Chains A and B, each alone.
Chain A
Amino acid sequence: MIVMGIESTAHTFGVGIIDGEGNILADVRARYTPPRGMGIEPFNAAEHHSKEAANVLRDALSEAGIGVEDIDVIAFSRGPGLGPCLRVGASLARYLALRHGKPLYPVHHGVGHLELVTHYYSLRNPLHLLVSGGHTSILVLNECRYRVFGETLDITVGNLLDVLAREAGLDFPGGPVIESLAEKGGELLDLPYTIIGTSFQFSGILTKAIQLLKSHRIEDVAYSVQEVAFSIIVEAVERALRAVPFDVDGIAISGGVASNDTLYKKLGVMAERYGLKVYRLPKRLNGDNGVQIAVVGLRMALAGVEPPELSSTGVVQRWRIDEVDIPWAC
């Protein structure tokens, strides 16, 4: 079986192709980069995706060494994400499915991040930490769905880093820039540490950090923001470990911010105390990609899920991850 996954929730337009065992045959992406000092403007990003879609598709097919007719299943990211961007991927997916008579599966983007890391390391049921621009959530599969054991109650950690970088006049995405600046900082500035059980908030950190930019070295602000925000996340994961009603076989970290080594190391220090291993994908697979969408498509096809009518494959900008049924885990 050959599965194609199309990703277009935000800045990345990607096409991934995998075989029936989940081996990656192609992973091609084009990324929209907003001008310095700006965030993603949805219509500009969508315009970028429209221009790049055909190239990305062609390159992916040639990388895999196949034609469209060799594809057995097509999956696309239905949401959550930016409407204009989502529609580009959905339109391409529907066209290919109709034109070539292939089954079409709409996929939850976040489930893609989780399933990719679970699949890659053949994990049974890990505790997931999903950290990106769209999510900052702690999840475990329980009773046929990914249940949220903790999450941000305001902005995501990706958002925190991106906006801080933007305010400081740095490039998008902010995560990698903030991380390298933090290595040169060391003064711990006072930032709000808001943890509510296993949930948390970051907007207080952002507001205070932007103020501190005026009076302190950016390196120290970067260090303090990472230190406080990541400590909150790791503590929430530690609290969630206790809340899960069964044993997990590790901690899986995914999403764009998973590439941050400071966060990864902190998580490792915590996990070691409980004899757990932290599983992280090769960095290139943490960011949005088509492979994560293809992996979910493969799971759905293997589980015998009936592909929905074309009329009910519309995009969904707001879509809770714990509202998605996971039939292959039932």
Chain B
Amino acid sequence: MGLLNRLVESSTLISRNAEADVYLVDGFLGRPAILKIRVPKGYRDERLDRRLRQMRSYREAVILHRLRDRGLPVPMLYFASLRDGVLIMEYIEGIALAQALSRLELEDAVRYFSILGGVARGMHGAGVIHGDLNLNNILVRDGDLWLIDFGLSYWSDSPKDMAIDLDSLRRSLDSTVPSLAERLFEEFLNSYREGNNYYDEVLRFYSRLRRMGRYYAER
């Protein structure tokens, strides 16, 4: 891990969160890059922790590669050391949609959700479930949008699993921007449904999932 250590030392920590410690690498083969380390979580039994970190780094690496290959807007993977739980990927200069929403005009926000619907459809079409599709895992800048953080992602072409992404997104909207949630989600669905053979079935499972939290009036 000598080379990696040196790389980390010359980088700036830009975010420390549940997923990983995220560094901005000044120049990786001459380009600005993101270095993501899944650090051990002290609150977990280390046997469990190691397994989870390795599995998530592996999945994120393979899935980023697959999605980028399909032309979907995700960071390009530059380097992966799965044993150390380290990924190096393209640096996206954007801000999280969660932050952006507080400053955006409604029509611009609506446009992003329309784009997002198409991206989610493409991702699901590629057989990938994001697993944590929330407003912090969507980056935006000047009308462009990217998906990031694929640590909880997995392969599936089941509408039941696709519905999980819709549910996560809707929950994220409901808790973060309650007053805009309905309108933005509707826009998301409008573009998610276009030419989507799975749509009806995904929506059926989605409405079932919606009622799975505690104490909904009817089930």
B209 and A197 contacting across the interface, CB-CB below 8 Å: no
Q: Quick one: which of A189-213 are within 8 Å of B by CB?
A: 193, 195-199
Inter-subunit contact B43/A269 (CB<8 Å)? yes
Q: Which of B151-180 contact A (CB under 8 A)?
A: 152, 164, 167-168, 171-172, 174-179
B152 touches A197 (CB 8 A): yes
Among B43, B132, B136, B177, the residue within 8 A (CB) of A267 is B43
Q: Which B residues touch A28, using CB under 8 A?
A: none
Q: Are B18 and A239 in contact (CB under 8 A)?
A: yes
Q: Are A197 and B132 in contact (CB under 8 A)?
A: yes
The smallest beta-carbon distance between B172 and chain A, in angstroms, is 6
Q: A154-B212, A239-B132 are in contact. Are A199 and B171 (CB under 8 A)?
A: yes
Check if A196 sits within 8 Å of B43, measured CB to CB: no
Indicate if B29 sits at the interface (CB-CB under 8 A): no
Tell whether, in the assembled complex, residue A242 and residue B17 are in contact, meaning their CB atoms are under 8 Å apart.
yes
- Segment touching A, from B44-52, B82-90, B104-112, B185-193: B44-52
Question: Which residue of chain B has its CB nearest to the CB of A245?
Answer: B176
Contacts A193-B48, A198-B134, A245-B102; A148 near B43 (Cβ below 8 A): no
Q: Is A193 in contact with B135, judged by CB distance below 8 angstroms?
A: no
**What's the Cα separation between A320 and B71 when bound, in Å?**
41
A91 within 8 Å of B by Cβ?
no
A245/B18 in contact, CB under 8 A: no
Q: A196-B131, A320-B213 are in contact. Are A228 and B176 (CB under 8 A)?
A: no
Contacts of B172 in A (CB 8 A): 197, 243
How far is it, in angstroms, between the C-alpha of A239 and the C-alpha of B16 when the chains are bound?
A: 11
Q: How far is the CA of A152 from the CA of B43 in the complex (A)?
A: 20
- Would A142 and B212 count as touching, CB distance under 8 A? no
Closest Cβ of chain B to A325, distance in Å, is 12
Query: Given A231-B44, A243-B134 in contact, is the A147-B16 Cβ separation under 8 Å?
Result: no
Q: Known contacts being A154-B212, A199-B168, is A147 close to B132, with CB within 8 Å?
A: no
Closest chain B CB from A171 CB (angstroms): 26
From the candidates B132, B134, B215, name the one contacting A318 in the complex (CB within 8 A): B215
**What's the count of A-B pairs with C-beta under 8 Å?**
124
Instruction: Check B175 against A270 for contact (C-beta < 8 Å).
Output: no
A147 / chain B contacts, CB cutoff of 8 Å: 174-176, 178
Majority-rule SS of B interface residues: loop
Return the contact of B48 from the options A228, A244, A273 (Cβ within 8 A): A228
* Interface contact B133-A273, CB-CB below 8 Å: no
Residues of A within 8 A of B176 (CB): 142, 147, 243-245
CA distance A242 to B138 in the complex (A): 13
Contact with B along A139-174 (1 / 0, CB 8 A): 010110101111111101000000000000000000
Determine which of A149, A154, A193, A228 lies in contact with B175 in the assembled complex, contact meaning CB atoms within 8 Å.
Answer: A149
**A49 CB within 8 Å of chain B:** no
Nearest CB in chain A: distance from B90 CB, A: 21
- Given known pairs A142-B175, A147-B178, A148-B175, the reply for A196 and B168 (CB within 8 Å) is yes
Chain B residues whose CB sits within 8 angstroms of the CB of A148 once the complex forms: 171, 174-175, 213
> Known contacts A196-B131, A231-B43, A243-B136: does B216 contact A320 (CB below 8 Å)?
yes
How distant is B14 from chain A, measured CB to nearest CB, in Å? 13
Q: Which 6 A-B pairs have the closest CB atoms?
A: A238-B18, A147-B175, A266-B43, A197-B132, A239-B18, A269-B43
Interchain residue pairs with CB less than 8 A apart (29): A143-B179, A145-B178, A147-B175, A148-B213, A152-B213, A153-B209, A195-B152, A197-B133, A197-B134, A197-B171, A198-B132, A198-B168, A198-B171, A199-B213, A231-B43, A231-B45, A234-B43, A235-B41, A238-B18, A239-B17, A239-B132, A241-B18, A243-B134, A243-B172, A266-B43, A266-B44, A318-B215, A319-B215, A322-B174
Known: A243-B98, A319-B215. 17 other contacts (CB 8 A): A136-B214, A148-B171, A150-B171, A152-B213, A153-B213, A196-B152, A196-B167, A198-B132, A198-B134, A198-B168, A227-B48, A243-B134, A243-B172, A245-B102, A270-B43, A318-B216, A320-B216
* Chain A interface residues (CB < 8 Å from chain B): 80, 134-137, 140, 142-143, 145, 147-154, 156, 188, 193, 195-199, 227-228, 231, 234-235, 238-239, 241-245, 265-267, 269-270, 273-274, 318-322
